[in-house]
Chain A
């Protein structure tokens, strides 16, 4: 079963994404970047859907960098989701190796299609 890791400090947003994806995926959740990195290494998800702005030691972009530099997670695709309307964030995210970038409020249809596209 395809594994998806949802990373957002807001539990309602995580729940919304979980419901949107339905029961066809094995879903893991993390509320901060540190937990996200741990869970990623632990479950080797196919796709990580991650918020940029999160409280804690790392934000989403840093977590993205960490995932991309981890040799065990080369197959993991990352989609960044952010409320920050900075074009800079998008360029940075793509530079760091993100496979997709969504601005909040995101289109659930586009998010699902993007995930399906990455899974292939």
Chain B
């Protein structure tokens, strides 16, 4: 029989305690279950974190390796800019032997200290997560004159989220800037050169030309790039010559010479060209550079000078110098072949009056007319020259017979009178006095022949003009002209 439920306060401790203990144990079991569940979750989280940690460690060691081997400079400073760590590349930029413990500002040129300070402040004050590409000029190393141009990138160095310092990645831009400067100078020179420049690859395909090339040849850059320079050739005949050039060039490295080319408009022009091959360190040809200067103007000027020296600019007849040359040649040839020739010395009669009456311009026109008329009378082998303002000398190979001389003299005099020389319808009334000397009868050297012919001309003039005299070694007879 179950005894009536006793008052709990009177219940024996052992009985009450066993119930409490059981409840407490259940509570422990429940809590154990909960804790085991939490434990499982924590274990999983621990594994994840461990894996993350491992890859972080690996990543960190790769980064550390990169930093160590980097060509770029790595510095770690505290927030005040005091260097605490650096990589080996840092030694390249500064002469300071012990970088850790040095203030970064001491390495920078004074002009860039403000930029440095601003970049650091932006990071420290939290205005920026990173500051990239700040141009900082480092003071030169002891033995070098030039400062080092760098681009610096700043990253915050945090520990537990608190800014502890600054990571600096610094790239030395000096070699790059120097190369850029050289390129700038080169292109400046090319763009402003008076000489045309063509740059071609090893297959002689044109890679680039400068503005002067376009100016000289008439070809724009986009018309020639990718083509070989063969289109510039003036003649097919010069093809083999080009082939020689392109063959010789790789061997000798340079070729200079005069080449006849053709412009875009078909006009021929002569250039002085220097071809150079650009090679790499192993001697392999990388490209060809051709510098061409237009010789056309130079050659034109040369021709003009040559003409001025040997020809009378007014009548375009050969001058005294050519006369002397021809005369010497003629004497030499006549002597060798035992031939003869005649020398006519012609003085215009009454020409000074033309200048006085109508002016020098009119006189010049008249002289050109006279020269023209003489040229129509003489043969191809004859030489007509103007030796003085109104004096002409004509050399006639093979002529020595007095009668024939008379006929030629008459033709020359006639040439001036039929029709009469005139200006604006005014008869100028200009005639000619001729003196003639023949080789070898009247002289066997130039001076004698000239002197004798001149003397004969003077006599003709003294006797009234419009006649000719043939020099006589003994007696000076004269032959009236037939006019």
Interface, chain A (partner B; CB < 8 A): 9-10, 12-13, 16, 55, 83, 104-109
The interface residues of chain B lying within 8 Å CB-to-CB of A105 are: 20, 23-24, 26-27
Task: Using CB atoms, name the residue of chain B closest to A83.
Answer: B20
How many Å from the CB of A17 to the closest CB on chain B? 10
How many Å from the CB of B423 to the closest CB on chain A? 136
Tell whether, in the assembled complex, residue A108 and residue B31 are in contact, meaning their CB atoms are under 8 Å apart. yes
| Besides A10-B21, A16-B28, A107-B27, 20 other A-B contacts (C-beta < 8 A) | A9-B13, A9-B17, A10-B20, A12-B17, A12-B21, A13-B20, A16-B21, A16-B24, A83-B20, A104-B24, A105-B20, A105-B26, A105-B27, A106-B24, A106-B27, A107-B31, A108-B27, A108-B28, A109-B31, A109-B35
The interface residues of chain A lying within 8 Å CB-to-CB of B24 are: 13, 16, 104-106
> Interface residue count for B (Cβ, 8 Å)?
13
Q: In the bound complex, what is the Cα–Cα distance between A109 and B28 (angstroms)? A: 9
The interface residues of chain A lying within 8 Å CB-to-CB of B35 are: 109
Instruction: Give residues of chain B (26-42) contacting chain A, Cβ–Cβ below 8 Å.
Output: 26-28, 31, 35
How many Å from the CB of B50 to the closest CB on chain A? 26
How many Å from the CB of A114 to the closest CB on chain B? 14
The interface residues of chain B lying within 8 Å CB-to-CB of A13 are: 17, 20-21, 24
Instruction: Give residues of chain B (359-407) contacting chain A, Cβ–Cβ below 8 Å.
Output: none
Q: In the bound complex, what is the Cα–Cα distance between A86 and B270 (angstroms)? A: 123
**Ordered nearest first, which 5 A-B pairs have the shortest CB separation?**
A105-B27, A10-B17, A105-B24, A105-B23, A12-B21
Q: In the bound complex, what is the Cα–Cα distance between A13 and B19 (angstroms)? A: 11
Task: Using CB atoms, name the residue of chain A closest to B16.
Answer: A83
Chain B contact residues: over half helix, strand or loop, or mixed?
A: helix
The interface residues of chain A lying within 8 Å CB-to-CB of B31 are: 107-109
Interface, chain B (partner A; CB < 8 A): 13, 16-17, 20-21, 23-28, 31, 35
How many Å from the CB of A52 to the closest CB on chain B? 13
How many Å from the CB of A89 to the closest CB on chain B? 14
The interface residues of chain B lying within 8 Å CB-to-CB of A107 are: 27, 31
Q: In the bound complex, what is the Cα–Cα distance between A52 and B23 (angstroms)? A: 17
The interface residues of chain B lying within 8 Å CB-to-CB of A104 are: 20, 23-24
Q: In the bound complex, what is the Cα–Cα distance between A16 and B26 (angstroms)? A: 12
Task: Using CB atoms, name the residue of chain A closest to B13.
Answer: A9
The interface residues of chain B lying within 8 Å CB-to-CB of A109 are: 31, 35
Task: Using CB atoms, name the residue of chain B closest to A11.
Answer: B17
How many Å from the CB of A46 to the closest CB on chain B? 24
* 19 cross-chain CB contacts under 8 A: A9-B13, A9-B17, A10-B13, A10-B17, A10-B20, A10-B21, A12-B21, A13-B17, A13-B20, A13-B24, A16-B25, A16-B28, A104-B24, A105-B24, A106-B24, A106-B27, A107-B27, A107-B31, A108-B28
Task: Using CB atoms, name the residue of chain B closest to A54.
Answer: B13
Q: In the bound complex, what is the Cα–Cα distance between A19 and B147 (angstroms)? A: 74
Task: Using CB atoms, name the residue of chain B closest to A20.
Answer: B28
Q: In the bound complex, what is the Cα–Cα distance between A1 and B31 (angstroms)? A: 27
Q: In the bound complex, what is the Cα–Cα distance between A107 and B26 (angstroms)? A: 10
Task: Using CB atoms, name the residue of chain A closest to B22.
Answer: A105
Q: In the bound complex, what is the Cα–Cα distance between A83 and B21 (angstroms)? A: 11
Q: In the bound complex, what is the Cα–Cα distance between A16 and B32 (angstroms)? A: 14
Tell whether, in the assembled complex, residue B26 and residue A55 are in contact, meaning their CB atoms are under 8 Å apart. no
